[in-house]
Structure 1
Amino acid sequence: MSYRQARTPEEKLAEAKELLGLPPVVAICGSTRFMAAMNEADLRETEAGRIVVKPGCDLKSPHPLWSDPAEAESLKARLDTLHRAKIRLADEVLVVGDYIGDSTRAEIAYARSLGTPVRFTHPEVDPGLRPSRPLF
């Protein structure tokens, strides 16, 4: 007698998306210094028929919500957790910009640990790329 294995939450989510006929979900990642480029990528991905999730706050730009340094630090932690949830929800990740900082590097590693495909607007910055032969 064979027993049916329980499906993972990820498998259930993928099945629900398919049953609902949802288009692919793309999570945009990258340094907030590239917010304008993220907005352009959002426009292009949306025009291509994809649902887009991306950072919604640029903590480098002044705003009353994060003007207090202690509140800004707390908000950053909450936003990091929220962005990881966006990555879990996504069918793929699009990394925007020609620079990869520590936060973006961690997001890429997280997406790849989930088996989520990662695309780059600047593929040369992919931290997963390794030279096929020594440079020297």
Structure 2
Amino acid sequence: MPDRPEIVCICGSTRFVEEMLAANRDLTFAGVIVVAPGVFTHAAGREWSETITTEQKAALDALHLRKIDLADRVLVVNPGGYVGESTSREIAYAHATGKPVSFTYPEKP
């Protein structure tokens, strides 16, 4: 048995907040430590959706890369196969650092 539970970093567009919360819940019940976005800027229609500055966006993007550094693997939440610019950058970073990447929706061939 490992010394600690597996750590998974959830990536994906913050517009998929419900799907991210479901993945987080499922992983947590499976005994996984989950790191995920903490600010949801694209959660349209939600009272807790946030508007942030360009500087805050850059800081959050950099912080999420550090979350990937902490993780054993990355799970991309991508309903319908959607992967935006920020998520593409995170996937490239995960690959560059040797982290396995999986998707909730099958990858395109």
TM-score (norm 1): 0.69
Asked if residue 31 in structure 1 is aligned to residue 7 in structure 2, the reply is no
Structure 1 portions without partners, runs of 5+? 1-17, 130-136
Q: Which amino acid aligns with 1:109?
A: A
Asked if residue 45 in structure 1 is aligned to residue 7 in structure 2, the reply is no
- Matches of 1:81 and 1:92 in 2, distance apart? 18
Task: Quote the residue 1:109 is aligned against.
Answer: 92
1:38-117 matches, within 5 Å, as 38-61=20-43, 66=51, 72-97=53-78, 98-117=81-100
Q: 1:102 to 1:47 in 2, by over 3 A?
A: same
Structure 2 portions without partners, runs of 5+? none
Q: Secondary structure at the match of 1:124?
A: coil
Q: Is the 8 A contact 2:42 2:49 kept in 1?
A: no
TM-score (norm 2): 0.85
- Matches of 1:82 and 1:63 in 2, distance apart? 20
Q: Which amino acid aligns with 2:68?
A: I
Deviations 1:24-80 (A, max 9, x none): 1000000111111000000001011100000010123466974xxxx5211101100
Structure possessing the higher radius of gyration over alpha carbons:
1
Structure with the larger helix share: 1
CA RMSD after TM alignment: 1.9
